[in-house]
Amino acid sequence: MSAKTELTLTINGRDHAIAVEPRRTLADAIREDCGQTGTHIGCEHGICGACTVIVDGEPVRSCLMFAVQAAGKKIRTVEGLANGDTLHPMQQAFMDNHGLQCGFCTPGFLMLAVGVLEREPDISDDDLLDVLSSNLCRCTGYQNIIKAVRAAAKEMRGK
């Protein structure tokens, strides 16, 4: 509809030169223009949190941000969590604690929890629950997600 803007998205340390309409959401740009489909879109109105990515150290909902707003910022997605074949402690904890079923909400929960724990490693348990209550999961009933995040928090603090 409207003219495209050229910009560079830096995702997991790699630059993606793309041209998108100003109205294109960051979520769509990450998925469609940069081919990183690990970030999922669950509601497109900022409530479910499935599309959570880390932008300049902060977890954000990539469906509520335009791609042009993320130009020049450091974006981290689920694809950047593991170190080669070694899972990130958060990914490992989700596996160990059966913190996922269908796995659709999982990337969002992983990025939310990692983003918050990196910033605030000693977050109180109650505050952690508040943070986790910002994303939706329809499969697990949350108990195993809580267990996984607590276990990973411990692991991340130990390092």
Partner 1 sequence: MTAPAKFVGRSVPRLEDRPLLLGQGRFAADISFPGQWHMRVVRSTVAHGKIKSINAATALKLPGVHAVWSAADVAHIPPIPFRLTGLKSLEPYRQPVLAKDVVRYVGEPVAAVFAENAYLAEDAADLVEVAIEQLSITLLAIEHPGVYEHDDTELSTEAGVLQKTYGDVDAAFRAAHAVVALELSIGRHSGVPLETRGAIARYDGARDVLEMHGAAKVPHWNRDTLAQMLGRKRESVQLYEGHVGGGFGIRGEIYPEDVLVCAAALKFRKAIKWIEDRREHLIAANHSREQHHKIRAAIDKDGHLLAIDDEFFHDNGAYMRTHAATVPDLTAAMLPGPYVVPAYRAVGHIRLTNKTPCGTYRAPGRYESTFVRERLLDAIAAKVGVDKVEIRRRNLIGKSAMPYKLGLETLGTNIVYDSGDYSALLDKALALADWKNLQTQLLKRRAAGEKVGAGVAMFVEKSGLGPFDTVRIDVKSDGSIEVITGVASLGQGVETAIAQICADALGVNYSNIKVIHGQTDRIDKGMGAFASRVTVMCGEATRLAAIKLRAELLEVAAGLMQSKADVLDIVDGQIVRRDFAAGPVLALAELAREHPTPLSAEATFESAHMVYPYGVHIAAVHIDADTGGVVIERYAIAYDIGKAVNPKLVEGQIAGGLAQGVGGALLEEFLYDDNGEPLSVTFADYLMPTVREIPALSILVAEDAPSPLNPLGLKGAGEGGANPVGAAIASAIDDALQRPGAVTRLPVTPQRLKALMAAG
Lookup: tokens for 43: 């509601």
- Name which of 72 and 139 has its Cβ closer to partner 1: 139
Smallest distance from the beta carbon of 68 to partner 1, in angstroms? 14
Lookup: tokens for 108: 């969002």
d(Cα 54, Cα 50) in Å, to the nearest integer? 12
Question: Which segment (36-44, 66-74, 114-122, 151-159) binds partner 1 by CB under 8 A?
Answer: 36-44
Site for partner 1 in 103-142 (CB under 8 A): 103-107, 110, 129-130, 132-142
User: Which of 145, 151, 152, 156: binder of partner 1 (CB under 8 A)?
Assistant: 145
* Residues contacting residue 54 through CB under 8 Å, at least 6 positions apart: 60, 75, 76, 77, 111, 114, 115
| 14 scored as a contact of partner 1 (CB under 8 A) | no
Helix (H, G, I), strand (E, B) or coil at 80: helix
User: Which of 96, 123, 150, 155: binder of partner 1 (CB under 8 A)?
Assistant: 96
Give the per-residue SS3 of 11-35. ECCEEEEEEECCCCEHHHHHHHHCC
User: Which of 7, 9, 11, 24: binder of partner 1 (CB under 8 A)?
Assistant: 24
- Name which of 45 and 159 has its Cβ closer to partner 1: 45
Asked if 55 and 70 count as a contact pair (C-beta separation under 8 A), the reply is yes
Nearest to 115 by CA among 71, 69, 49: 49
User: Which of 72, 82, 120, 125: binder of partner 1 (CB under 8 A)?
Assistant: 82
Applying CB under 8 A, the residues found at the interface with partner 1 are 1, 21, 23-24, 31, 36-45, 47-48, 50, 77-79, 81-82, 87, 91, 94-96, 98, 100-107, 110, 129-130, 132-146
